[in-house]
Amino acid sequence: MQPDELQAKKYINVETYKRNGEPVQTPVWFFVKDDKIFVVTRSKTGKMKRIKNNPKVRIAECTIKGHVTGRWTNGTATVLDGTETGEAVKARNKKYGLAARVMKFLTGSKGDLVAFSIILD
């Protein structure tokens, strides 16, 4: 799979790994730019903790509830700095519109907005 194949899709399932190697799948919003996949989330979420411990991930196209509808592809996640996160938030808001702005307020208790990029293998 190439990142541009996902451009028009709404959700991907990101599989991250606990310290013991157990996989955890999470459906997320995303956008594609410069052959990378970007995800905006909150700093206190489990996926951010897991990515900081192990940047290896797998992704697949999915439904809003996480049901995988595409094939899994391996990749590596990189946590973005503050400036890059700000740009990612703007791009995410452009793709998802009002829903993204509403989610920003509903998820505020899970920490600061952060973002990560994924480069597929």
Model's pTM, two decimal places?
Answer: 0.92
**Which DSSP state fits 90?**
H
| Contact by Cβ (8 Å): 52, 16 | no
Distance between CA atoms of 18 and 22, rounded to whole angstroms?
Answer: 5
Q: What domains sit in the chain, N to C, each tagged with a CATH number?
A: 3-120 (2.30.110.10)
pLDDT of the residue at 58: 98
Q: What is the pLDDT along the chain (121 residues), one digit of tens a residue?
A: 788 889 889 999 999 999 999 999 999 999 999 999 999 999 999 999 999 999 999 999 999 999 999 999 999 999 999 999 999 999 999 999 888 877 776 676 788 999 999 999 9
